[in-house]
Amino acid sequence: MQAAVPSRPSLAARPQPGQAAETLLSFRRYLAAAGKTIKTINSYCLEVRHFAEWCAAEDRPLLAVTRDDVTDYLAPCYRAHTWATVGYTIVSLRSFYLWALAAGLCECNPTANIPCNLHSRESEKPTTVAAVRSLIATTEAAAEQRRVTESPEWGAHRDGFTLHVRGQGGTRDTVRTHVMNISHYARWCRTNGLTLDHGTRQHVQQYIVAQINTLTLSTARNRLMSVRAFYRYLIAIGGRTDDPTAGLKVKRAHIEPKRPYTEEELKAMLGACATAQDRAFLLVCISTGARISEVCGYETDHGIRAQDIDWTRGLILLRGKGDKQRYVAPGQVVMTALREHVNGHKGAIWLTRGGEPFCRSRGQKTLYTIAERARIAGAYAHRFRVTFANSFLSGGGDLQALQFLMGHSRIDQTAHYTGFSAAERALDQQRRMAVVDRLVAAA
């Protein structure tokens, strides 16, 4: 029997009687202790309360439901709500049951392996109980396949390798990429009857050739870098004495120079800012050449905070890859916009409506929204960094100074960003020095 989706209760909805109310109150205290904002706590508890009401109406105990019960609940939700809304419901219920499992209130997590699919197309939504169960079964089959082919040697090294990469100054993105790539390499080794720890140069060559034949050069190169990092980790802990990746290279793929934003596009986006925060955020991205993760951050020690701004000297402290720090001087207009926006606030200066600091994805979404209002096609966050690099050199700046401002460890990395302006300068010179034009004029 499929129950209709009940209307969502307000925050002032009556509390659940008996044990459910006490459980929900304990869950709320746990979220508060975990540092969640009031908005997040209310949202999570609202979703759990909604599910508790459905369980009560269906005569199913909240702390003893099965995955089939959750599936029965979700099927009509998919019909009535968007992917994002249902995804948030799953996230909320998953947090609740993980807490309940840790607290000994239930014996399993009924939301395990239920995919959120927050970014899928609406046309792909499962609208029946059978479709939801099919989606879960597909997810479980993929997870089981990964588990069966997972290398036990890799399982023994995963945590140590992660700490090693972090200790070498790797960012969270670098760690995630290395772990994903080594998981793939470990499965390839096991499938081919090889041992991960004792891979030879020939084995690595075979693996990389297989990647080049099926993937882009950039992806194959990244996987070689991850394999190299893994074997250097083994050398560091005494697991082996040689590096089978030594001397192996994958040619860097040729990438066409990225086109920077034009002045007209930047002016249009500044005119499309809806709030003072949007304008200050956009101005910082335009004027500093900072990475989006340096502007709004994805970890507690990243992103611009009020105490990182030197109002006297007009400087902003940025924290880049490998926790390297540098100052940038965005100019008086940007500092004035920042002063009006910050207005004495302490801590993170970019906040959501709920008061939470911006993560990197939130910063990207803000820029996408501004560009969409301004009707600018092909807009993305990293393009502001390209724009800054080309504008700096076109305005008379030198490459070494640009290297410092962009936080690069090698100057060839900086030169890669300036390919567009270099090409434009070469074409302008060719136009001015056109040989045929001079010959025809002389005749």
> Could you tell me the CA-to-CA distances from 163 to 176, 231, 299, 395 in Å, in that order?
12, 14, 16, 43
Other beta carbons less than 10 A from residue 178's beta carbon = 24
Q: What's the token pair of residue 10?
A: 């307000």
What pTM value is reported for the model? 0.60
Please report the pLDDT score of residue 75 as a whole number: 79
Cβ burial of 289 (10 Å; 0-12, 13-18, 19+) is: buried
Residue 259: beta bridge partners? none
Residue 121: the pLDDT is 46
pLDDT at 241: 92
- Kindly report, residue by residue over 229-277, the tens digit of the pLDDT: 999 999 999 989 999 999 998 887 666 778 889 999 999 999 999 999 9
Count of beta carbons in the 10 Å neighbourhood of residue 191: 10
Please give the domain boundaries of the chain with CATH numbers for all domains. 19-145 (1.10.150.130), 150-236 (1.10.150), 263-428 (1.10.443.10)
pLDDT at 264: 94
Cα 106 to Cα 101: distance, rounded to the nearest angstrom? 5
Spatial contact of 44 and 354, defined as CB atoms under 8 Å apart: no
Residues in the chain where the model's pLDDT stays below 50:
1-17, 118-123, 125, 299-300
- pLDDT value of position 13: 34
Count the neighbouring beta carbons within 10 Å of the beta carbon of residue 187. Answer: 18
SS3 319: strand
Query: Which residues have a Cβ under 8 Å from the Cβ of 405 and sit 6 or more positions away?
Result: 288, 289, 326, 328, 392
**Which residues are CB-contacts of 4 (< 8 A; sequence separation ≥ 6)?**
76
pLDDT of residue 126: 52
Instruction: Work out the number of other CB atoms within 10 angstroms of the CB of residue 272.
Output: 18
Instruction: Give the CA angle between residues 435, 437, 439 to the nearest 5°.
Output: 70
Residues 407-424 pLDDT 10s: 888 888 888 887 777 777
Report the alpha-carbon angle 399-400-403, nearest 5.
85
Nearest to 291 by CA among 302, 280, 301: 302
Angle between helices 19-33 and 38-57 (to 10 degrees): 160
